[in-house]
Amino acid sequence: MAMGLQTTNTRDALVTEVRRRILSGELEPGTPLTEQGLATTFGVARPTVRSALQELVARHLVQRSDGRSLRVPVLTDDDVRDLFNVRQALEITAARQIVAQRRPLDAAEAALRVLEALPETAGWSERVEAHTAFHIALVEAAGSTRLSRIYPPLQEEMQLCLARLRGAYPDPRKLAIEHRELLDAYASGNWASAEGEMRDHLRRAREGLLSPVPEPLPH
């Protein structure tokens, strides 16, 4: 029994650490992840590594590149557009219910305060975690069981996008400020304001991730 608990704890700790390295950018997109390599790096058994990698694949933070080998996912511009299209549909639906029904925002407020309270020395992966917790709490405020069920797995994959946005926030306070403005728009009870702020919020993030359109060559 004790051996099983220890193995589970080691597996979970490995999932947490590899996830942190992916979201912080230490493990860059395209980096191969092998059982032997991770077992050597962390000093754990290969079955533990295999179990951790299976969990990370299920959470879309690791992908199979050719059916067998694993790597940190490389998101194309089409992947980014698709993720944001789905995310926008879900979050706008949630926003409509929150504003129309005057749903309480206490959990979202608490999650935002965690983001706001992070010190300047906090790592980017910590900011990604706090950001994700805020958006999940915001969607859950809609009071829809199905929205609350399908949105968190999407946010797991969205975290890969957030890992790439690190350079867009040289001032760590900016991330919290943007989300305070978003929550204030929801709390205003004005649907046009809430929808507009959410669309602008997602547009800025999406544009920060997409490759610049090349300038046309002069004729």
Q: What's the pLDDT band for 67 if we cut at 50, 70, 90?
A: low
Q: In this structure, are residues 36 and 46 in contact, taking their beta carbons and an 8 Å threshold? A: yes
Q: Pick left, alpha or beta for residue 48 (phi over 0 → left; psi -120 to 50 → alpha; otherwise beta).
A: alpha
Determine how β-strand 63-64 pairs with β-strand 70-71. Answer: antiparallel
Q: Model's pTM, two decimal places? A: 0.82
- Crossing angle of helices 106-117 and 124-140, rounded to 10°: 170
Structural domains of the chain, ranges and CATH numbers in brackets:
2-71 (1.10.10.10), 77-209 (1.20.120.530)
Determine how β-strand 63-64 pairs with β-strand 32-33. Answer: unpaired
Q: In this structure, are residues 65 and 125 in contact, taking their beta carbons and an 8 Å threshold? A: no
For residue 213, is pLDDT > 60?
Answer: no
Q: In this structure, are residues 56 and 62 in contact, taking their beta carbons and an 8 Å threshold? A: yes
Q: Can you give the pLDDT at residue 64?
A: 87
Summarised one tens digit per residue, pLDDT across range 96-150 is 999 999 999 999 999 999 999 999 888 888 888 999 999 999 999 999 999 999 9
